Amino acid sequence: MKLEEGTVIAVHGPLVRVQIGDRTLVMASRRRLTWVGGTPRSARLVVGDRVRAEMRAEDGVIVEVAARENSLCRAAPHSGRPQLLAANIDQALLVFAASRPEPKRGLLDRFLAACHSARIRAVITINKIDHGMEEIEQWLPIYENLGYEVLRVSAR
């Protein structure tokens, strides 16, 4: 039995998809995980967690979770309690359409506040610029003047 390090890339109920080197494996975690640095408030695995797994051939079980550098939270829809979304994030690309669907400036502000609070670099990405940018060209310079990088792109 050997320990291998990986990163959680998806959580599907009790099963977790982990990237270990160039392999992607689906595995379970022990009921009582070892949380390096102490058990966090939200002691459940999320995307971005760095883990160690006990491996037997191609099968493994997660046994340890490294301390989180940062985490992204939101208020849960019905209860309003903090809900952990992801951990160990280097950068967030906040992607909004230029016109359709109509970009919600308030939603962008909430995402930017969450990123700022978690010390995550946020890049505003405006997609579908080929559909016109009349609505957003009025307010995008505000974010650029605040120091945010704004990318204008088209998938086309």
N-term to C-term CA, the chain: 49
**Predicted pLDDT of residue 99:** 86
Question: Any idea what DSSP says for residue 129?
Answer: G
Structural tokens at position 115:
């990123």
Q: Is 154 left (phi over 0), alpha (psi -120 to 50) or beta?
A: beta
**77-135: pLDDT as tens digits:** 788 788 888 999 999 999 999 988 888 899 999 999 989 989 999 999 999 998 888 88
What residues have CB less than 8 Å from 118, skipping those under 6 apart? 70, 71, 72, 73, 89
Structural tokens at position 119:
């010390």
**23-43: pLDDT as tens digits:** 999 999 988 899 998 887 778
What residues have CB less than 8 Å from 80, skipping those under 6 apart? none
pTM (whole model) above 0.85: no
CA 66 from centre of chain: 16
